[in-house]
Copies of this chain bind each other. A is one copy, B any other.
Amino acid sequence: MSDALRQFKSEIFQGLANPTRIAIVELLREGELSAGELIEKLGIEQANASQHLAVLRAKQIVLSRRAGNQVYYSIRDHALIEVLDILRRYFYGQLSSAVNMLQEVAGEKPKSRLRTHR
């Protein structure tokens, strides 16, 4: 695979590598919201939200459109939603593994160990 594609992917990931920005993308799942609405729902500083939105714009994750006094944001491509959905499933999968491990640790005769080599 090309370096350009790897670079591109890593920038997308970097754009999403922050819980606040993930929260923004998820708020935008249902449709566009103004910066003000996002700030209100996120409960964070205006400057901070604006900075995160700038990152999402720079990484081409969201689109913005000005309407009068406000700026409305939306997700640029549905693919990103799919990515988040896959990770949700992945998350619950990981959770189950963790539960299994705990059960094994708690039980007397663990049958299969999921330990790492260290």
Contact = CB atoms under 8 A, between A and B. Distances in A.
A38 to B, nearest CB: 15
B8 A91 contact: yes
Interface of A: 1, 3, 5-10, 12-14, 16-19, 21-23, 26, 57, 60, 63-66, 71, 77, 79-80, 82-84, 86-91, 93-94, 116-117
Q: Name A's interface SS.
A: helix
B93 A87 contact: no
A13 B9 contact: no
Interface hub of A5, A21, A89 (most chain B Cβ within 10 A): A5
Contact of A14 (B13, B26, B57, B63): B13
